[in-house]
Amino acid sequence: GEDVEQSLFLSVREGDSSVINCTYTDSSSTYLYWYKQEPGAGLQLLTYIFSNMDMKQDQRLTVLLNKKDKHLSLRIADTQTGDSAIYFCAEETGANNLFFGTGTRLTVIP
């Protein structure tokens, strides 16, 4: 299968920006997704980017896509304690397959 990699842990101070990174291997990706999983909840779709875009901004969230390097990032501005969660990136390929990263646990320190 395809390889989608993320670092496992990230800690930031409240009010700082968080940047969660993801790399993938399949160059035929169509959509790339960011999901948030809070304790006790299922996955929540945060945002997605179509593969022909290089940036998407949605309030405090900025998604950057470097298709040449197959690198995706999620930046959360002014990180709050409520942002503490596990963040998954996922790559959808041309064949409508979906591959998840391992998840990055974001801890926001008050």
Partner 1 sequence: EAQVTQNPRYLITVTGKKLTVTCSQNMNHEYMSWYRQDPGLGLRQIYYSMNVEVTDKGDVPEGYKVSRKEKRNFPLILESPSPNQTSLYFCASSPLPSKETDTQYFGPGTRLTVL
Q: Which is nearer to partner 1, 41 or 55 (CB)?
A: 41
| x-or-dash string of contact with partner 1, 23-52, rule CB under 8 A | -------xx-x-x-x-xxxxx-x--x----
Q: Is 55 a binder of partner 1 (CB under 8 A)?
A: no
Q: Is 92 in contact with 29 (CB distance < 8 Å)?
A: yes
Task: Give 70's DSSP letter.
Answer: T
Which residues have C-beta within 8 Å of that of residue 21, sequence separation ≥ 6? 6, 7, 71, 72, 73
Residues found near partner 1 in the complex (CB under 8 A) = 1, 30-31, 33, 35, 37, 39-43, 45, 48, 86, 90, 92, 96-98, 100, 102-103, 105
